[in-house]
């Protein structure tokens, strides 16, 4: 699904960028330009970032 309509960024693109080391919103913003126009996508992008970060945290707890 599209997260950022202004820049045409999907949740898959965001998740991939996060998996490749984009654990800070600032970095995602620089890499994908998410949230750099109207900013309406920022809450959803932040939620995806939190969700993906939590998955990584669980992975480390189990491993």
In the chain, what is the straight-line distance between the N-terminal and C-terminal CA atoms, in Å? Answer: 31
- Separation of alpha carbons 62 and 21, rounded Å: 20
Number of shown-chain residues binding ligand FES (CB under 6 A): 12
Per-residue x/- mask for ligand FES, residues 3 to 42, rule CB under 6 A? -xxxx--------------------------xxxxxxxx-
For the CB of residue 11, give the shortest distance to ligand FES in the complex, in Å: 12
The 8-class DSSP code of residue 13 comes to: H
Per-state percent for the chain, helix, strand, coil, to nearest 5: 60, 10, 30
Q: Which is nearer to ligand FES, 5 or 50 (CB)?
A: 5
Positions in the binding site for ligand FES (CB under 6 A): 4-7, 34-41
């Amino acid at each position: 699904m599209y997260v950022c309509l202004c820049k045409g960024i999907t949740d898959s693109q965001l998740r991939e960028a996060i998996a490749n080391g984009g654990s800070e919103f600032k970095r995602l913003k620089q890499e994908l330009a998410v949230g750099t126009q109207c900013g309406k996508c920022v809450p959803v992008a932040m939620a995806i970032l939190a969700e993906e970060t939590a998955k990584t945290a669980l992975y480390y707890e189990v491993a």
